């Protein structure tokens, strides 16, 4: 039974058949028990009701249920990001397929804008939404590194190029932004490699978006949790996999498709969908006799970011 880790100032307690949500105003990672051998499917999707006379933006619901904005937008096409309609329903994508990687340390999948943390000595995985590097300042991909150090109260030193970009917009950036609540890195930083960090934020938006200078951004409660629990030396793997799939122990086949990240400025600014990377392994998976081809095509087109059972003759999301 997945459960939502309690954040600070928790004030809501909502009960669902499969797990308990302990809801914070600020942020909540979701803790899942690891599935049995041969399985990578965890969690269950949740449907919530938008209150009558709603005054909150979609970001508020995303933060309350431990999601990034992109996760909520994929699961709820057409939703008003500024003001979801009162009385409507929202799908919270709390079911997912674990990335096909070693279950160790931190795994970041930039395509789905999620960070997976496998605490040593436990049988759980913590899933946290993230913001990543904007187009032209991408977060590194296909990289294995480690936590080099941690900093309580990081100082931000913008690059000369960053300062020039701000200047073009009429903004002046100092050579150094001191630690404190106005620092864009937030109150905690976990440095990976030489040039990048997993850090907090001084804003109330940007999680689930491409907004950073290349670093990995988390909501403040989430970075505090990682800062307190992730040791220096922890393995960190960054991947870019918009398509995840799994054959479960019962033989069912599941497919989870996210919008791929744009590969260049033209794709970023275009209204056209970015092509999905179809690897030989994926092609073999979706062409089997035991899959529902029409459902596969729907999933590849829809890109809901949620696992779908594509088995022939089987029911599923």
By annotation, the residues acting in catalysis are: 199, 215
Q: Provide the H-helix boundaries in 169-292.
A: 220-229, 265-269, 280-286
CB 127 within 8 A of CB 29: yes
Asked whether the CA dihedral 137, 139, 141, 147 is positive or negative, the reply is positive
User: CA 312 to CA 272: how far, in whole Å?
Assistant: 30
Burial class of 45 by CB neighbour count within 10 A (0 to 12, 13 to 18, 19+): middle
Tokens 């690897």 appear where? 279
Asked whether the CA dihedral 303, 308, 309, 313 is positive or negative, the reply is negative
- Listing DSSP states for 116-158 in one string gives EEE-TTSSEEEEEE-BEEPTTSPPP-SEEEEEEEEEESPPB--
């Amino acid at each position: 039974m997945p459960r939502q880790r309690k954040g600070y100032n928790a004030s809501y307690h909502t009960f669902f058949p499969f797990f308990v949500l302990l809801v914070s105003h600020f942020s909540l990672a979701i803790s899942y028990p690891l599935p049995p051998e041969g399985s990578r499917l965890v969690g269950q999707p949740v449907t919530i009701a938008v209150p009558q006379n709603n005054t909150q933006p979609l970001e508020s619901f995303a933060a309350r249920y431990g999601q990034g904005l992109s996760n909520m937008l994929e699961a709820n096409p057409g939703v008003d990001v500024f003001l979801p309609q009162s009385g409507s329903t929202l799908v919270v994508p709390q079911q997912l397929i674990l990335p096909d990687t070693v279950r160790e340390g931190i795994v970041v999948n930039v395509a789905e804008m999620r960070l997976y943390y496998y605490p040593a000595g436990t049988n759980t995985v913590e899933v946290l939404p993230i913001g990543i590097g904007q187009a032209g300042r991408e977060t590194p991909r296909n990289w294995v590194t480690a936590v080099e150090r941690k900093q309580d109260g990081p100082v931000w030193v913008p690059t000369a190029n960053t300062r020039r970009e701000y200047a073009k917009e009429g903004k002046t950036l100092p050579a150094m932004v001191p630690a404190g609540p106005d620092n864009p890195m937030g109150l905690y930083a976990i440095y990976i490699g030489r040039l990048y960090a997993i850090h907090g934020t001084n804003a109330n938006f940007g999680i689930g978006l491409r907004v950073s200078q290349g670093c990995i951004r988390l909501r403040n409660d989430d970075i505090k949790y990682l800062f307190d629990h992730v040791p220096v030396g922890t393995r960190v793997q960054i991947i870019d996999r918009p398509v995840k799939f799994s054959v479960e122990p019962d033989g069912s086949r599941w497919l989870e498709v996210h919008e791929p990240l744009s590969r260049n400025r033209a794709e970023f600014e275009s209204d056209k969908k970015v092509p999905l990377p179809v690897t030989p392994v994926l092609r073999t998976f979706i062409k089997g006799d035991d899959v529902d081809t029409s459902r596969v095509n729907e999933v590849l087109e829809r890109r809901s970011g949620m696992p779908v059972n594509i088995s022939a003759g089987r029911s599923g999301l």
